[in-house]
């Protein structure tokens, strides 16, 4: 029986979707959006024009992911390092772009039944940005479809530091460090992503082969897909291409080729 094409996909997306196995879609996709600056430079535009153009890519990717019922999508929007290493003007622009994005896109998120969340040290962002973020999260809180997580002021190493601190604090409140349990379950349970499954697939645009301090713990067994496409040109169709590539991979979790006894706990590949 021919699988049904989800409503809203265009003709090209439908063609790729029909070649996918709907039973083996990734449950969580993480994306490192990269290449906005290069996109702008190639057009002799200021860098911020690349960020502005990146919003259309965000919209298309989110909508396609929700339409094909991906349960969780996480986008790396601003790293902790971005604040420290970019010119003030660019950082200010990114902040106001985020506020405008949140204000404008909430109806689209609600129209697609998407619940918005964040990871990263939100309390270090400007108060106005924090307020807009809280507003958008509350405005989508009753949605029951895809969870869209924006990584904002995010660093994977900081996340692990925060998790360890939270574990120690909890142990002290619970009678002292004798009550501290340190194992993988405890660390996973204290990460910002504790309510999400680990990503099955991580996509990076613009051809760079790095994880750039993104979800280092959670990506331990993820399939990595790098596309040369610059982020402003990325669309839902490119997401489907990434999923198609993911479905060609053999996930072993350190097990053997036939997959027997494969589990995320074992090591080696
Ligand atoms: C990386 O490109 C991109 C960013 C640091 C910002 C990401 C922002 C967006 C995609 C637009 C808005 C997003 C939301 C969620 C509102 P780069 O500047 O590092 O590109 P380069 O490596 O070519 O210089």
Q: What distance in Å separates the CA atoms of residue 44 and residue 98, rounded to the nearest whole number?
A: 23
Give me the residue spans of the domains in the chain.
27-248
Question: What is the chain's mean pLDDT, rounded?
Answer: 94
Hey, whose CA ends up nearest to atom 7 of ligand 1? 77
The residues lining ligand 1, judged by C-beta closer than 6 Å to any ligand atom, are 33-38, 51, 54-55, 58, 77-78, 82, 97-98, 101, 150, 206, 231
CA nearest to 9, candidates 24, 28, 22, 23: 22
Q: At what angle do helices 88-111 and 47-67 cross, to 10 degrees?
A: 20
**Which residue of the set 10, 36, 82, 162 is catalytic?**
82
Over range 165-193, report the average pLDDT.
94
Query: Residue 92: pLDDT band by 50, 70, 90 thresholds?
Result: very high
Query: Looking at ligand 1, which atom is closest to the CA of residue 76?
Result: 7
Which of 105, 231, 233, 235 gets mutated to test ligand 1 (max ligand atoms within 8 A of its CB)?
231
CA distance 39 to 233: 8
Strand boundaries in 133-254, DSSP class E: 147-154, 201-204, 223-226
Instruction: Tell me the whole-structure pTM to 2 decimals.
Output: 0.94
pLDDT exceeds cutoff 70 at 262: no
Closest CA to 192 of 221, 222, 151, 224: 151
* Distance of CA 5 from the midpoint of ligand 1 (Å): 31
Site to substitute for ligand 1 among 51, 65, 226, most atoms within 8 A of C-beta? 51
227 membership: H or E segment, kind and range: none
Atom of ligand 1 nearest to the CA of 208: 22
Report the candidate in 119, 133, 131, 130 with the shortest Cα–Cα distance to residue 163: 119
Residues 6+ apart with CB under 8 A from 91: 82, 83
Please check whether residue 155 is in contact with residue 81, taking contact to mean a CB–CB distance below 8 angstroms: yes
Percent of the chain with pLDDT over 70: 94
Contact status, residue 146 vs residue 65, Cβ threshold 8 Å: yes
Confidence of residue 268 (pLDDT cuts 50, 70, 90): very low
264 — pLDDT class (breaks 50, 70, 90): low
Q: Which of 10, 21, 34, 117 is catalytic?
A: 34
Is pLDDT of 259 > 70? no
| Side-chain half-sphere CA neighbours of 210 within 13 A | 7
Q: What value, to the nearest 5°, has the Cα angle with vertex 116 and ends 129 and 156?
A: 75
Q: Which CATH architecture has domain 27-248?
A: 3-Layer(aba) Sandwich (3.40)
Cα 54 to ligand 1 centre (Å): 7
For residue 267, what pLDDT band results from cuts at 50, 70 and 90?
A: very low
Establish whether 34 is a catalytic residue: yes
Tell me how far the alpha carbon of residue 232 lies from the centroid of ligand 1, in angstroms: 9
State how beta strands 201-204 and 115-119 pair.
unpaired
């Amino acid at each position: 029986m021919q699988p049904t094409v989800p409503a809203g996909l265009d003709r090209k997306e439908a063609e790729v979707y029909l070649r996918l196995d709907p039973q083996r879609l990734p449950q969580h996709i993480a994306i490192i959006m990269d290449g906005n600056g290069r996109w702008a430079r190639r057009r002799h535009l200021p860098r911020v024009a690349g960020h502005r153009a990146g919003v259309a890519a965000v919209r298309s990717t989110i909508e396609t992911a929700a339409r094909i019922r991906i349960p969780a999508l996480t986008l790396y929007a601003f790293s902790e390092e971005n604040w420290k290493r970019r010119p003030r003007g660019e950082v200010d622009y990114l902040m106001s772009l985020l506020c405008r994005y949140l204000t404008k896109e909430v109806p689209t998120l609600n129209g697609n039944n998407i619940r918005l969340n964040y990871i990263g040290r939100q309390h270090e962002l400007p108060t106005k940005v924090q307020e807009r973020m809280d507003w958008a999260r509350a405005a989508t809180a009753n949605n029951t479809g895809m969870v869209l997580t924006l990584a904002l002021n995010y660093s994977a190493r900081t996340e692990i530091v925060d998790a360890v601190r939270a574990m120690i604090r909890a142990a002290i409140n619970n009678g002292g460090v004798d009550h501290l349990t340190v194992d993988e379950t405890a660390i996973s349970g204290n990460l910002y992503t504790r309510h999400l499954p680990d990503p099955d697939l991580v996509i990076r645009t613009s051809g760079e082969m790095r994880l750039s301090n993104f979800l280092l713990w959670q990506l331990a067994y993820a399939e990595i897909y790098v596309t040369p496409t610059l982020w402003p040109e990325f669309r839902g169709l490119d997401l489907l291409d990434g999923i198609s590539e993911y479905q060609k991979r053999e996930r072993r979790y350190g097990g053997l080729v036939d997959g027997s006894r494969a589990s995320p706990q074992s090591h080696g590949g």
